[in-house]
A = this chain, B = another copy of it.
Amino acid sequence: MFFVSLIPIRSGSPGEDSERSDAARNRERLLVAARELLDECGVDSLTMDKLAKRAGVGKGTVFRRFGSKAGLMMTLLSDAEAEFQGRFMFGPPPLGPGAPPLDRLVAFGHARIGYLLEFGDLARAADQSVYTKLEVPATLLWHRHVELLLRAAGMTADPWLMAIFLGATLDPERLLYAVRVQDVAPERLAEAWTELVTRVVGKA
């Protein structure tokens, strides 16, 4: 009932069954071109027109494949995202199972901060889609993860909503803004997170 698939980002992997050969070829070309463009000019300067041109396909093909720019970013992010998901769900403690819930919560925030420092631009572009930001499967998954940790740590008052509140704190856009524009050291973010969740989970 609460299952969320582990790698639900988008079908960017070639494993997709029954795909025409030209479609597969073009998808591959597009992904290659997209990574090149990202290296060269960053997320914001990557336009769908440039991408189509670089990959040698029509613009329509780009959108058929990925649905939107956000969809493309999700695809590009899917490997890193899956790895991250694997770490907090199945990896070694304190991030993975085995450690006390509060320790896992703390570790989760730290890991997410690190993840966003590395892939935050992609994540920001993948999220931004006005009202669907929170409907991205990957987001649903880690929100639920936080909720379960809150419950395990003994929180009884609306852990679902509290997870959303805490999740707001780890928003890519805000975090990147803090680090890049406000010049907040990542360690400081991590400490504040520790402080926050420790107090929220309460007396421990």
In the complex, whether A162 has a CB less than 8 A from a CB of chain B is yes
Number of residues from A at the complex interface, CB < 8 A: 31
Count of this chain's copies in the oligomeric assembly: 2
Bits for A67-100, please: 1 = Cβ < 8 Å to B, else 0. Answer: 0000000000000000000000000000000000
Residue of B nearest to A168 (CB): B168
Give the interface SS of chain A, mostly helix, strand, loop or mixed: helix
Task: For the complex formed, measure the closest distance between the CB of A94 and the CB atoms of chain B, giving whole angstroms.
Answer: 21
In the complex, whether A169 has a CB less than 8 A from a CB of chain B is yes
A-side residues, CB < 8 A to B, are 130-131, 133-134, 157-158, 161-162, 164-165, 168-169, 171, 173-174, 177-178, 181-182, 184, 188-189, 191-193, 195-196, 199-200, 202-203
A-B contact pairs, 26 of them (CB 8 A): A130-B173, A131-B181, A133-B173, A133-B177, A134-B174, A134-B177, A134-B181, A134-B182, A157-B191, A158-B191, A158-B195, A161-B178, A161-B188, A162-B192, A162-B195, A162-B196, A164-B174, A165-B169, A165-B196, A168-B168, A168-B174, A169-B169, A171-B171, A196-B200, A199-B200, A200-B200
